[in-house]
Amino acid sequence: MMRQMRENTKWIMLVTALAFVALMVFEWGMDLTGRTGSLGAGEIGSVNGEPITYEEWLAVYNNVYQQQQSAIDGPVTSSMRRQIEDAAWDQIVTQRLLQQELDRRGIRVSDQEIRDAARIAPPPELQASPLFQTDGQFDPAKYQTFLAQQQDPTFLLQLEAYYRDVIPRSKLFYQTAAGVYPTDGQLWRMYRDQHERVTVEYIAFDPGAVIPVSQVSVTDAAVRAYYDENRDDFLRPAQASLRYTAISKAPGAADSAAAYQRAEELRAAAVAGEPFEEVARRASEGRPQSYGEQFTAVRGQSAPVLDRAVFAAAAGEITQPILTRAGYHVVKIDSRSGDTAQVRQFVIPIELSEAAEDSIFDLADRLEDDAISAGLDAAAERLGLEVGTADVTPALPVLPGVGAIDEGLDWALVAEPGDISDVFENDQSFYILELISSREEGPLPFEDAAPTIRTLLVRNAQLEQARNALQPAVQRAQAGEPLADIARSYNATAGTVGPFSRSDPASGLGRLNAAVGAAIALRPGQLSPLVEADGMLFLIRCIEREDASRTAWLEQLEEQRAGVIQAMSDARWNQYLLALRENAKIVDKRNEVLRGGNRQAAAR
């Protein structure tokens, strides 16, 4: 077993690499190569005066990008990239804030605490490793035996880095989030809400069917008064109406052929005897990749074309280039056993060639020059481009076939109708805009809001008048008449639903509304008053009821309490992090830095 553990030491080291990278980036100021970060690429922002460098952000961005790419079946889109940029920024800001708070509170970790934690509390990834499990459960003895015989200094350094990062945060968590304690009364109510169950029959009355619109009168004065009292409910977003054209940056057939040729050349080198890891390293060309590291491929868990090729190949074989959305894969099969295989691979993505990229830049320059001199339509016609029209808002700054236009929308909201923009760039394209019209965020004019308000007031009036008109129906139900018979005389909907709890959806009644709450409160045979929910009026009678068992509750009370304490502590911790962020001075210069040349490196 120890031989197997030693052989898997490299894999175990990778498990803790994330903590080690975090330590390098946030504690030592290094980039992913281990070099000290410099300000040569510029600061991307700061937290309470402490700078964040572009190199730091890029290291985290690449890590998040790889995680996202491995989690999806397909390419990372431009909108995903923007989300990854934000996620990387948020991670660094949070890390900075936490480190500053740890320094302010003087929270440290001792060498003895690290030694104790390493012996009894290995990282979750190691606990989950089959190497340290017996009968599917983590076996501390196996792990401690491995740890006692571990002589790899790099692994021990990485493990130490993990605990130096985790233990102080744990101390801060307990200082800020501990102390919550739900009472028995609170826990009983939570348990009861989940376990009280009823079966009911009901009638659902549509107020509009009971009281026709012709019987309701709403004055213009009432509509105006409602608008004046609720202006904040009638805000409309800023909007720009645009004409636009774009030049796609998507790779073409020539780029695909070049990627295939590169994959073939590298494969030939590996077949000729060059170590696969070295070939994979050359294939990466500086991109963050696993340089031909061995991993386990499981049948059915990869793209179908890749899956078929891997499991059709023999042990020792190096596959021909396999095309997926990620590019051309070349896979070496080290061994196979049933539905698993130990493999290595490198991937050559399909990217614009330097010549194609230069051509696109030239087209973008021509587009800008022609649009300024001759107008958008003439410029598009000369370059064989189509012109589109669309409305965009800050909530959805996207143009069909162009992608996100955050910078373009910023321009449009301050430009004048008829203005033509410079050429903007996003991950998908170069694009140019002509402003047709724009409006600022603000209240919806009364004339535009009035029809909606009138409809609302009419519906409210129907609801109140229907309550009075349905009192005979309530009296008939109280006298014991079947609800189905009453429903037919009012052309209403009757039904039976259950058993359901307070938190369950109840077909016909809805979910988490007044009708469900009224139903849960009923005893068998009891009738509710008319209850309004989701614009309908409900009359409900309980058929059966299952009360929550206090005995069963007491049997699981401590387990429930532990779960609720954890949830409440997590909520308090999240509130604490939010407060740290709200009270911090955070300078975000990503738009200035990332929209320049540096962004190209990050996006590849």
Question: pLDDT tens digit string along 218-227?
Answer: 999 999 999 9
User: Rounded CA gap, 424 and 422, in Å?
Assistant: 6
pLDDT value, residue 180: 85
Q: Which stretch of DSSP H or E encloses residue 361?
A: helix 354-374
The whole-angstrom distance between residue 81's C-alpha and the CA centroid of its chain comes to 12
Question: pLDDT tens digit string along 256-289?
Answer: 888 899 999 999 998 999 988 888 888 877 555 5
Question: pLDDT tens digit string along 125-161?
Answer: 888 888 888 888 888 888 888 888 777 778 788 888 8
Q: Using 50, 70 and 90 to split pLDDT, how confident is the model at 295?
A: confident
Better-predicted residue by pLDDT, 352 or 600: 352
pLDDT for residue 65 is more than 70? yes
All domains in the chain, ordered by first residue: 2-178+583-602 (no CATH), 197-235+447-546 (3.10.50), 238-249+354-440 (3.10.50.40), 253-348 (3.10.50)
Question: pLDDT tens digit string along 562-580?
Answer: 999 999 999 999 999 999 9
How long a stretch of residues is the chain? 604
The two structure tokens encoding residue 141: 């003895």
pLDDT value, residue 541: 96
The DSSP bridge partners found for residue 460 are: none
pLDDT for residue 324 is more than 50? yes
Mean pLDDT of 161-177: 88
Q: Where are the beta strands (DSSP E) in 393-460?
A: 398-399, 403-404, 424-425, 429-439, 442-443
The DSSP bridge partners found for residue 342 are: 296, 335
Contact residues for 61 (Cβ-Cβ < 8 A; gap 6+)? 84, 85, 88, 602
pLDDT value, residue 498: 86
Q: In the predicted model, what is the mean pLDDT of the chain?
A: 84
227 in Cβ contact with 446 (< 8 Å): yes
pLDDT for residue 175 is more than 70? yes
Question: pLDDT tens digit string along 428-452?
Answer: 889 999 999 999 888 888 998 999 9
pLDDT value, residue 27: 36
Return the percentage of the chain with pLDDT > 70, whole number. Answer: 89
330 in Cβ contact with 270 (< 8 Å): yes
405 in Cβ contact with 433 (< 8 Å): yes
pLDDT value, residue 32: 30
Q: What is the CA radius of gyration of the chain?
A: 32
Question: pLDDT tens digit string along 368-395?
Answer: 999 999 999 999 999 999 999 999 998 8
Q: What is the DSSP letter of 274?
A: -
* pTM (predicted TM-score): 0.55
pLDDT for residue 69 is more than 90? no
Strand 424-425 versus strand 403-404 pairing type: unpaired
